[in-house]
Structure 1
Amino acid sequence: MYKIAVMGDYDSIYGFAAVGLDTYPLSDEKEAEKQLHQLVLSKYAVIYITEEWAARIPHAIDKYKDQILPAIIQIPGVSGNTGKGVENVKKFVETAVGSDILFSNNK
Structure 2
Amino acid sequence: MYKIAVIGDYDSIYGFATLGIDTFPIHDENEAKTKLKELTGGLYKIIYITESLASKLTEEIEKYEEQITPAIILIPGISDNTGEGINRVKQSVEKAVGSDILFGNQ
Pairwise TM-score range, normalised by the shorter structure: 0.7 to 0.9
Is contact 2:45-2:71 (8 Å) kept? yes
Could you state the TM-score of these two structures normalised by the residue count of structure 1?
0.87
After superposition, the C-alpha distances for 1:16-69 in whole angstroms (9 at most, x for unaligned) are 112211001111112111111111111312100011101111111101011001
Higher mean displacement: 48-57 or 78-87: 78-87
User: What code does the residue aligned with 1:36 have?
Assistant: L
Which secondary structure does the structure 2 equivalent of 1:56 belong to?
coil
Could you say which residue in structure 2 is the equivalent of 1:7? Answer: 7
Could you say which residue in structure 2 is the equivalent of 1:42? Answer: 42
Which secondary structure does the structure 1 equivalent of 2:55 belong to?
helix
Could you state the TM-score of these two structures normalised by the residue count of structure 2?
0.88
Could you say which residue in structure 2 is the equivalent of 1:27? Answer: 27
Counting matched residue pairs gives 106
Which secondary structure does the structure 1 equivalent of 2:79 belong to?
coil
Structure 1 runs of 4+ with >6 Å offset: none
Where does the alignment leave 5 or more consecutive residues of structure 1 unmatched? none
Where does the alignment leave 5 or more consecutive residues of structure 2 unmatched? none
